[in-house]
Amino acid sequence: MPVSYEIDPIRSLVRIEYVGVLSAGAVTQVIQQLIDDPRLQPGMGIVSDHSRGANFATPDLVLRIMPRLAKLAERLGPLRIALVTPRAVQVGMANLAAVHAQLRGVRIEPFASREEAEAWLAGGDEEAASSESGQAPHGIGHGQPPGSRRERE
């Protein structure tokens, strides 16, 4: 499965794109490459785009990548990952990943488009404040499909 990533230092953003068949090995490999990449800076957000993937994440895959996500969070500090998955069926796996990731200092939110994902990451402080207050992130654990996130009033 081809996996590529790019680092946008101006927007303080990492974009990962998965094309083809998703595997735990490919995911952990790209996470390790990020950990080792000297261009990666604390505070960068990550867009993990699965919209061109040919298969779906499984609970086993989610659990297998968690130790690497924890190491990435150690390197970057508080870590936010916007998971792009336009398929509603993947929201359940995103929710599972979010629960396990939160225990490791990582916040994951699902989105239907890369634009929504990048907008959330650019929002920074407001979203981080709700996470620190203990409120559940919008769209996680509420069974909402990607793209149906409600704005705060």
Residue 17: what pLDDT? 95
Strand, coil or helix: what is 7? strand
29 vs 128, residue with greater confidence: 29
Say how far apart CA 106 and CA 79 lie, in whole Å.
5
The pLDDT tens digits for 79-93 are 999 999 888 778 888
Set out the domains of the chain in order of their start, with CATH numbers.
3-132 (3.30.750.24)
**Side chain identity at 63, as an amino acid letter?**
L
Token pair of 112 as six digits? 């239907």
- The percent of residues above 70 in pLDDT, for the chain, comes to 80
pLDDT for 1 equals 54
In whole angstroms, what is the distance from residue 75 CA to residue 135 CA? 25
pLDDT single digits (tens) 103-118: 998 999 999 999 999 9
CA 93 to chain centre: 12
pLDDT at site 93: 86
Instruction: Tell me what percent of the residues of the chain surpass a pLDDT of 90.
Output: 56
